[in-house]
Amino acid sequence: MSQEYYFTVPGREFADDEILIFSHRHLMVFLGPLIITILLTIFPLVFGIILGSYSAESPLSADVKIMIIVFMSVYYLILSSYLFIEWITYYYDILIVTENTIVDIRQNNVFNREISHLHLRQIEDISSEVKGFFPTLFNYGDIIIQTAGAQERSIIQSIPNPQKVAAMILQLHKNVLAQNKDLEGD
Amino acid sequence: MGIIFILLYLLFLIIYIAFYGYVIHRIWNMRIKGDHTRKGIYLYSIIVVSIITLSFIFLSILPFI
């Protein structure tokens, strides 16, 4: 096993399977937290400049200045951590499709991760949904998979090119069914 | 008063670094071959170190004792 290949869940199972689709969520999903962080980064700086808190001639006492520096430092540390955790949540939300399996990895936060495996044989119906202004503009959306098993409906969210991905999964599903028929025929 | 704030800040930094050290350790174990996690962690670490360094530089300028 390569030193970099720490991803334990699909790593072993995909040893013989070729990964055909490997997709993160669309980058637009991360845009919201990024804009919030940029605005929250600028806001205290502008506010401080307007109040003149950072100038050498500021009438504030040394204690107040220490308080401002400490609060600003804590504020920016928490803000950078927020962005980092949002990035991790975005980056580790992954859809993997192989010749036989769909693996949907949902990273809800650093300490909450859901991994669902679905065999292509189990699929009964698959559809894609692009809803809203930005999803239509940037071509991303959800894939809804209907299965025969206990978990009847599986939704894979904010995937780029959902129609194309759904069509590919459907084609793979047909291939698996055809293979099974051939095996039964033999 | 200023000293108390600085001591509280140091306490916060110890807890913060310990917690995010653990978070980074967890993330390091989730890595996928060829991903950008390493770069992300480096960038995050640089930002955190810069914030802490700048804070200490600003604090050292002030005549708080």
Residue B32 has pLDDT above 70, yes or no: yes
Q: For A45-63, write each residue's pLDDT tens digit.
A: 888 777 766 666 667 777 8
**Residue B9's pLDDT band (boundaries 50, 70, 90)?**
very high
For A94, the closest chain B residue by CA position comes to B32
Does A7 sit within 8 Å of B62, measured CB to CB? Answer: no
Q: What is the ipTM of this complex?
A: 0.91
Q: For A71-81, write each residue's pLDDT tens digit.
A: 999 999 999 99
**Residue A135's pLDDT band (boundaries 50, 70, 90)?**
very high
Distance CA B2, CA A70 (A): 10
- Report in angstroms the alpha-carbon separations of A54 from A61, A69, A143, B8, B53: 12, 10, 51, 22, 17
Q: Which of A124, A133, A128, A137 is nearest to A159 (CA)?
A: A128
Q: For A59-73, write each residue's pLDDT tens digit.
A: 777 788 888 889 999
What DSSP designation does A161 have?
S
Candidates B32, B60, B62, partner chain A, best to mutate (most A CBs within 10 A): B32
Q: Which of A83, A89, A94 is nearest to A33 (CA)?
A: A83
Q: Which of A85, A107, A112 is nearest to A94 (CA)?
A: A107
pLDDT of residue A110: 81
Q: How far is CA A1 from the centre of its chain?
A: 25
